[in-house]
Amino acid sequence: MDYKRVLTVQDISCFGQCSLTVALPILSAAGHETVILPSAVLSTHTGGFSGFTFCDLTGEIPKITEHWLKEGIKFDAIYTGYLGSTTQIGYVKSMFKTLGKDKYIKIVDPAMADNGKLYTGFNAEFVNEMKKLVYSADIILPNITEACFLTDTEYKEKYDEAYIDMLLSKLTAAGAKTVILTGVSYSEDSTGVLVYENGIKRYYKHRRNKRGSHGTGDVYASAFVGAYLKNNDVYKSAVIAADYTLLCIENTADDDSHRYGVKFEPVLPQYIESLK
C-alpha cells in the first residue's frame, strides 16, 4: 500500500510559495496523508521582502508532539525543511526517536545556506547542530553550499567532478547514508542532481534555466519525498523531482512580476502523471 502518512516540519511563509505552502500541496497531490508541524509563521518569506511579520512557534512544538504521542500517532516518514534554531533541531531529533512507525524514513533538507553563505540568522553553532540531524537521517538533500558547511569544506563557485566526489566522500565518512546533492553543474547550459546510495554514484543532467526563483529547493525536496513514498527508488525519485522543478521554473520564466516563487500549481497534473 502506498498511502503513507508523512510529517513535514518547517515554517509557514503565508505568501511566497515556499516551505509548507509548497510541501503540503505537493505531498498531498502525490497521494499521501500530509501532517504539518509549523516551526514559525511569517507573513512572507524573507527573500526580497521587507517588514515581514514573524511568529516563532518553537514553544508549541513539544506540546504538539506530546499530544501526538498520547494519541498514538506515528508516521511512515518525517521530512524536515527550514528550521529556525538549534532548539528546533533538538526537538526534531527527539521526534526521530519517538514518532516513527516500526519502519519509517527520516529525510532532511538542511535548508540553511546557498551561494556560499549561510542564511541570515544562522551561525557555526547552528551548523554543528544541523550536522547531528543530517547524519542521523536516512536521506539528505543538501545543495553544494550546504554540503560544504556540513563537511567544513571551502566553497567553490567553479568546480570539477573531483571536488564533488570529495564532498560526497566527506559526507559519507561523517555518517550520511543516502545523499541527493542538488544544483550540481559542470557546464553553463546544464545542471543536475547527483545521487549517492550504497556506494554507487549516479548523475542526472538536465537543461539549465538561468532564471533564479525562491522556493525551488522546497519544491524539489517535496517532490522527491512525494515520489519516494510512492515506492519509487531513490534515483528515479530524484529524477522525477528534478524534471518537475525545472517544469515549474519554465512555467514561470515569462512572468517577471512573479520573482518571489514558481508557479508550481498549474503543472501539478504533470507531476501526478509522472508518479504513475
Q: Which of 39, 41, 37 is nearest to 14 (CA)?
A: 41
Q: What's the structural domain count of the chain?
A: 1
**pTM score of the predicted model:** 0.96
pLDDT, tens digit, 9 for 90 and up, residues 128-180: 999 999 999 999 999 999 999 999 999 999 999 999 999 999 999 999 999 99
How far, CA to CA in Å, does 83 sit from each of 88, 180, 187? 6, 19, 32
Measure the CA–CA gap between 202 and 133, rounded to whole angstroms.
24
pLDDT, tens digit, 9 for 90 and up, residues 4-59: 999 999 999 999 999 999 999 999 999 999 999 999 999 999 888 889 899 999 99
Residue with cell 522525477: 240
Model confidence at 269, in pLDDT bands (50, 70, 90)?
A: very high
Query: Domain residues for 57?
Result: 5-274
Q: What are phi and psi of 155, to 5 degrees?
A: -75, 135
Q: What are phi and psi of 211, to 5 degrees?
A: -65, 130
Measure the CA–CA gap between 210 and 156, rounded to whole angstroms.
19
For the record, the C-alpha cell of 119 comes out as: 542564511
CATH number of the domain bearing residue 152: 3.40.1190.20
- The answer to whether the beta carbons of residues 247 and 267 sit under 8 Å apart is yes
